[in-house]
Amino acid sequence: MKLKDKIILWSRVKSPWIIHFNTGACNGCDIEIVDALTPRYDVERFGMLLKGTPRHADVMVVSGPLTRQQAKRFKRIYDQIPNPKFVLAVGTCACSGGVFDGCYGVVGGIDKVIPVSAYIPGCPARPEALLDAVVKLITQLEKSAK
Amino acid sequence: MSKMQIPLGPQHPALKEPENFMLVLDGEQIVDATVNLGYNHRGIEKAAENRNYIQDIYLIERVCGICSHSHVSCYIGAVEEIAKVEVPAIAKALRTIVAELERIHSHLLWLGVAAFELGYDTLFMYTWRDREQVLDCLELLSGNRVHYGMNTIGGVRRDITKEQVDEISKKIKYLKERTSYYVNVVTEEPTFLARTQNVGKLPKDVALELNAVGPTARASGVDIDVRRDEPYFIYDQLDWKVITYHTCDVFGRAVVRVLETIESYKMIEQILKAIPEGPISVKVPWKIPAGEAVFRYEAPRGEDIHYVKSNGTEYPERVKVRAPTLSNFQSLPYCLKQGYLADAVITIAAIDPCMSCTDRAVVYDINKGERKTFDQEELRKYSIEFYKKKGISFK
């Protein structure tokens, strides 16, 4: 591995910045995501920082079933994230549509529109589950480079 | 300078939920504002008609993750009124405890989010750290952190033990100390005052006219609270007072919320001292007799109204949810007008908007750009026709 690649991998593994996107969630998963960012769980120790714009982010944290109104906009935001990009589907709704599967306003899980890197089930997913997914994602990233 | 129109949302770093605001700007000043809803519309009311009353409890709980107990209690209140069920005293007491714990968690969450919108991240981290204590209490009591699943038709699903009472009292004591610190921060901290005083003004007469509810209305001096005006659960047996404030701005709304938290601590302590004995629920048949009922409930954000109509089967014929945020949204364009763009986000946050509660039904024709609203019967006919075309048959 060249020195340039090593530096890129190091920066990628040490600072995976995230963007949070709500595709029509009930807020339950959103408050658990924010919970993971605040002192008790403190996901920032893995170098994760919540960013406002998709152009600064590496990881997209998505909560909620995909509503028809959001589907198009969601795809657009996803396309704006620079490569390589990763998607965490938080909660049963984001994984499969959950309790809202079959509702007329809901398309289904987010994997109908974009590829997903990690599924985190739970209604809502607990912050511990979120941390577990983050650790798995980072280890996977390290392994894939070798 | 010509006027400029900018969109805020549906994806915006300061808004945690999908919603869209069209702001017309003259320089830095907002001259007009429109609210566009519907990004979070999932179709819960229709889904509720296809599930039975017990299944609906868990569906309605997921109307909103922050005020899940409010929506469920409101729905169950209406169903129990139709079925004429007398709920045991201990169930009422436990429902009240969970309701007040939820109010504390919601208000602390709001304070953190408001501080975040102001760029005051220290307060954000402090409040969210302390909020964990409330979530611990809720987990101890119900087994879940967010969707409690505590309610069932005719009572509650879990009893409370002596150890739980002690643990909750201990945590409430700690939270009381921390909240008195937040009262000082909110009322004295120069950063907080500079950003919130005289921002998002909503005079009393306008608040009444535009149908503001909850802390938004109480901060404008409107003395309303369903818990006192039309008591449910055991609120009429408790000693507490309705908090109102007169400044009519974002600062007032913050003060009302923080002081309300202290009232909630008082209420929980009173209930924990004397928890009634007895069975926690009564049995209710699956089929609910025909009838209709409306239930009013004071959610953390304001008055929540549920309407349930039953037709004698185990499926409700209609469930209607009027969330507090929908009511508060009428006053939001007024608050935004004449303010500055930099204050727009905190003004929006000040009503504590909850889109997942609010987005019920609106139709927007993208091709024609027309907006149309349906009444219930029209919408029903439309939905049946729509699904018949897709080959789905109806009973």
A31 in contact with chain B, both atoms CB, cutoff 8 A: yes
Q: pLDDT by residue for chain B (395 residues), tens digit each?
A: 578 888 887 777 667 778 888 888 888 888 888 888 888 888 888 888 989 999 999 999 988 888 889 999 999 999 999 999 999 999 999 999 999 999 999 999 999 988 888 888 899 999 999 999 999 999 999 988 889 989 999 999 999 999 999 999 999 999 999 999 999 999 998 888 888 888 888 999 999 998 899 999 999 999 999 999 889 889 999 999 999 999 889 999 999 999 999 999 999 999 999 899 989 999 999 899 999 999 999 999 999 999 999 998 999 999 999 888 888 888 888 888 878 888 887 888 877 777 777 666 544 444 555 555 555 566 666 666 776 776 666 55
Question: Does residue B22 lie within any of the structural domains?
Answer: no
Strand order in the sheet with B20-26: B4-8, B20-26, B29-36
Residues B272 and B394 in one domain: no
A63 in contact with chain B, both atoms CB, cutoff 8 A: no
Residues B145 and B291 in one domain: yes
Residues B195 and B107 in one domain: yes
CATH number at residue B153: 1.10.645.10
How far A67 CA lies from chain B's nearest CA (Å)? 6
List, as ranges, residues 79-98 from A with C-beta within 8 Å of B.
none
Residues B243 and B386 in one domain: no
Question: Does residue B327 lie within any of the structural domains?
Answer: yes
Question: Does residue B27 lie within any of the structural domains?
Answer: no
Give the number of beta-carbon pairs within 8 Å between A and B: 118
Residues B124 and B154 in one domain: yes
State which residues form the domain around B386: 362-395
Question: Does residue B13 lie within any of the structural domains?
Answer: no
Of B18, B38, B62, the CB nearest to A99: B62
Looking at this predicted complex, what is its ipTM?
0.90
DSSP structure class, residue A125: P
Residues B284 and B369 in one domain: no
Give the total number of structural domains in chain B. Answer: 2
C-alpha torsion A89→A94→A99→A102, nearest 10: -150
Residues B291 and B372 in one domain: no
How far A61 CA lies from chain B's nearest CA (Å)? 12
pTM for this prediction: 0.89
Domain ranges of chain A: 16-141
Best CATH choice for the domain A16-141 from the list 3.30.70.100, 2.40.50.180, 3.40.50.12280, 1.10.3720.10: 3.40.50.12280
